[in-house]
């Protein structure tokens, strides 16, 4: 839509009920979300207080401040959020978005965004209106993490149809209270992780579970490799025989299982990698895995971990049948497969692995993301580190203070 022609309304004289006369003029404004303009009236002042020339000058200054006669003036779009969502759903998503990503976005749109923003003009979607909406959602019990995830979907919908491909607001402007930010950091820091020692106990418990029948070794190897390699669930589930190199102790990661159960490319370029599992834990896991796959390694495209039908494992079934019963029996805190990944990240970091190498191994795109996986180092590991580093020195100092000869 082109810019409208400039406005130069006529100064007129009006009369109030008490007989006072005043100068006024009328002008048009564009309303976001509407094609038709709206007429506004502006009173300049009483005729007894100024001349018509002064009133004309004030009118011109007012029109200048509106900017409607400027070459930079742009007419507000009549598009609403519903229009942007339709473009995203019909044009952008089919060719540019993964099915699994769209599945999540669809849930955000149908449950939260369309009911609240459907008829809102895009020009009205600002960081202030977003903050008002976020607080309403927070008061319904949604976590800030969930709210931010929903807003990422909103940003994607709005940006895909804009000329500059940018969302009209940034999440950096979200008004999240300091105490809530602290709580989110604490939750991230205290996220559950399973150490190598705990993982071995979990595997032993799985092998004791006779109800699993032929699934015992499948789950035992699955959990062991997860703990040794730090691979994501979707990467482990998509592993094929030709991804394993038992001589070099490496695992090639170039496919992943999405939320809809389809095998496709990994989540990003950093996730496409070759993971080296050449430490003691990794070698132990690979030897165990070699015995598990046996002759199946000849079928290069077969899944390493598959159901009896040859299809990828189902995460909820693995957790329900294998992991959670073992955790309950051992008295360990319940979590999902990501807890093995966190434990592996911490083990490698505490072993002194170069940060850049660690980031590559984990498939992270930034050091900040890798740092989040360290979490709270267990007290027993802190004590063990002190014992290794300073044990003899501390013992000597204590003996000296107590007057005991070394």
Answer yes or no: do 45 and 23 share one domain: yes
Please determine, for residue 324, whether its predicted confidence score (pLDDT) is greater than 60. yes
pLDDT at 370: 83
Shared-domain flag, residues 28 and 142: no
Whole-number pLDDT of residue 308: 87
Between residues 95 and 384, the one the model is more confident about: 95
Distance CA(342)–CA(378), nearest Å, equals 13
What's the total number of domains in the chain? 3
pLDDT computed for residue 159 by the predictor: 93
Residue 388 lies in a domain: no
What token pair was written down for 46? Answer: 């009483």
What pLDDT, on the 0 to 100 scale, is given for residue 380? Answer: 73
- Are residues 56 and 85 both part of a single domain? no
> How confident is the model over 357-396, as pLDDT tens digits?
999 999 998 888 888 777 677 677 777 777 777 765 555 5
Of the three residues 170, 189, 208, the one that is the final residue of a domain is 189
Looking at per-residue confidence, does 239 or 35 come out higher? 239
62 plus 91 within the same structural domain = no
pLDDT exceeds 50 at position 251: yes
Residue 228 counted as domain residue = yes
299 three-class SS = coil
What is the average pLDDT score of the chain? 87
CA dihedral 382, 384, 386, 391 (to 10 degrees): 160
Q: Which two tokens stand for residue 334?
A: 């319940």
In contact, 128 and 168? CB cutoff 8 Å: no
Give the pLDDT of residue 2: 44
- The string of DSSP codes covering 238-298 is T-BGGGEETTTTEEEE--EE-TTS-EE--SSGGGSEEEE--SHHHHHHHHHHHHHHGGGGG
| Eight-state DSSP code of residue 48 | T
Decide if 387 is inside a domain: no
Rounded to 5, what percent of the chain is helix, strand, coil? 55, 10, 35
Which residue has tokens 């991804």?
243
**Residue 1 above 50 pLDDT?**
no
**Share above pLDDT 70 across residues of the chain, in percent, rounded to a whole number:** 89
Q: Is residue 296 part of a domain?
A: yes
99 and 60 in a single domain? The answer is no
**Residue 315 falls inside a structural domain:** yes
In a domain, 353, yes or no: yes
Where in the sequence is the domain holding 338, given as residue range(s)?
196-375
User: Does residue 217 share a domain with residue 312?
Assistant: yes
Nearest to 25 by CA among 41, 3, 46: 41
Same domain, 229 and 350: yes
The string of pLDDT tens digits covering residues 28-57 is 877 665 667 788 898 998 999 999 999 999
pLDDT of residue 166: 86
d(CA 211, CA 226): 22
What confidence category does residue 397 fall into, taking pLDDT thresholds of 50, 70 and 90?
A: low
- The stretch 3-26 carries a mean pLDDT of 86
Mean pLDDT in residue range 277-285: 96
Concatenate the DSSP letters of all residues of 156-192 into one string. HHHHHTSTT---SS-GGG----HHHHHHHHHHHHT--
Q: Decide: residue 161, CB within 10 A, 0-12 exposed, 13-18 middle, 19+ buried.
A: middle
pLDDT by residue (tens digit) across 125-175?
A: 999 999 999 999 999 999 999 999 999 999 999 999 887 788 889 999 999
In this structure, are residues 251 and 244 in contact, taking their beta carbons and an 8 Å threshold?
yes
Tokens 């959990």, residue located: 223
For residue 58, what pLDDT is reported? 92
Interatomic CA distance for residues 325 and 329, integer angstroms: 6
Q: Are residues 273 and 362 in the same domain?
A: yes
Helices 196-208 and 338-350, axial angle in degrees (round to 10): 140
Q: What's the CA gap between 221 and 119, in Å, rounded?
A: 52
Q: Strands (DSSP E) along 60-131, which ranges?
A: none
Tell me the C-alpha to C-alpha distance, in Å, between residue 227 and each of 199, 316, 348, 374, 375.
Answer: 7, 18, 11, 14, 16
Average pLDDT over residues 173-178: 93
Q: What is the mean pLDDT of residues 169-186?
A: 89
In this predicted structure, the answer to whether residue 338 has a pLDDT above a threshold of 50 is yes
Which residues, 6 or more positions from 276, have their beta carbon under 8 angstroms from its beta carbon? 248, 249, 250, 282, 361
| Same domain as 94, residue 62 | no
Note whether residue 6 is domain-resident. Answer: no
Quick one: DSSP state of residue 70? S
pLDDT digits (tens, 9 = 90+) for 109-138: 999 999 999 988 888 899 999 999 999 999
Q: Which residue has the higher pLDDT, 190 or 326?
A: 326
Residue 26: strand pairing partners: 41
* Separation in Å, CA 308 to CA 215, 305, 313, 354: 9, 10, 9, 40
- Could you tell me if 332 and 209 lie in one domain? yes
DSSP assignment of 210-247: GGGTTHHHHHHHHHHHHHHH---HHHHHT-BGGGEETT
* Structural contact between residues 359 and 370, judged by C-beta atoms closer than 8 angstroms: yes
Tell me which of 152, 174, 189 is where a domain ends: 189
Are residues 127 and 22 located together in one domain of the fold?
Answer: no
Whole-number Cα distances in Å, 310 to 146, 253, 294, 307? 35, 20, 16, 5
**For position 212, which CATH number holds?**
1.10.443.10
172 within domain boundaries: yes
Same domain, 233 and 316: yes
H/E stretch holding 43 reads: strand 38-46
């Amino acid at each position: 839509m082109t810019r409208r022609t400039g406005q130069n309304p006529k100064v007129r004289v009006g009369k109030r009920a008490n007989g006072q006369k005043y100068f006024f003029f009328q002008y048009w404004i564009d309303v976001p979300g509407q094609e038709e303009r709206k007429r506004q009236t502006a009173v300049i002042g009483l005729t007894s207080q100024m001349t018509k020339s002064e009133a004309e000058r004030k009118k011109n200054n007012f029109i200048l401040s509106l900017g409607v006669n400027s070459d930079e003036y742009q007419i507000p779009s009549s598009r609403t959020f519903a229009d942007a969502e339709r473009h995203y759903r019909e044009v952008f998503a089919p060719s540019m978005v993964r099915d699994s990503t769209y599945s999540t976005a669809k849930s955000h749109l149908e449950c939260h965004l369309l009911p609240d923003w459907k008829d809102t003009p895009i020009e009205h979607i600002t960081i202030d209106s977003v903050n008002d909406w976020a607080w309403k959602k927070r008061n319904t019990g949604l976590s800030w993490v969930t709210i931010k995830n929903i807003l990422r979907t909103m940003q994607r919908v709005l940006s895909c149809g804009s000329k500059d491909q940018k969302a009209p607001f940034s999440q950096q402007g979200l008004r999240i209270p300091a105490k809530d930010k602290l709580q989110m950091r604490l939750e991230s820091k205290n996220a559950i992780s399973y150490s190598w020692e705990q993982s071995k106990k979990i595997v032993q418990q799985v092998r004791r579970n006779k109800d699993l029948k032929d699934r015992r070794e499948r789950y035992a190897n699955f959990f062991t490799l997860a703990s040794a390699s730090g691979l994501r669930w979707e990467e482990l589930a998509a592993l094929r025989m030709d991804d394993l190199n038992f001589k070099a102790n490496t695992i090639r990661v170039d496919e992943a299982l999405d939320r809809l159960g389809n095998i496709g490319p990994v989540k990003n370029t950093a996730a496409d990698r070759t993971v080296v599992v050449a430490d003691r834990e990794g070698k132990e896991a690979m030897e165990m895995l070699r015995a598990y796959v046996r002759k199946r390694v000849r079928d290069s495209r077969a899944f390493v971990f598959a159901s009896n039908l040859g299809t990828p494992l189902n995460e909820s079934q693995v957790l329900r049948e294998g992991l959670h019963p073992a955790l309950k029996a051992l008295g360990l805190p319940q979590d999902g497969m990501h807890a093995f990944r966190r434990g592996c990240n911490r083990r490698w970091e505490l072993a002194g692995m170069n940060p850049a190498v660690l980031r590559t191994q984990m498939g992270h795109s930034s050091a900040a993301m890798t740092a989040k996986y360290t979490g709270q180092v267990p007290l027993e590991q802190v004590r063990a580190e002190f014992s290794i580093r300073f044990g003899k020195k501390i013992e000597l100092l204590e003996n000296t203070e107590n007057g005991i000869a070394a």
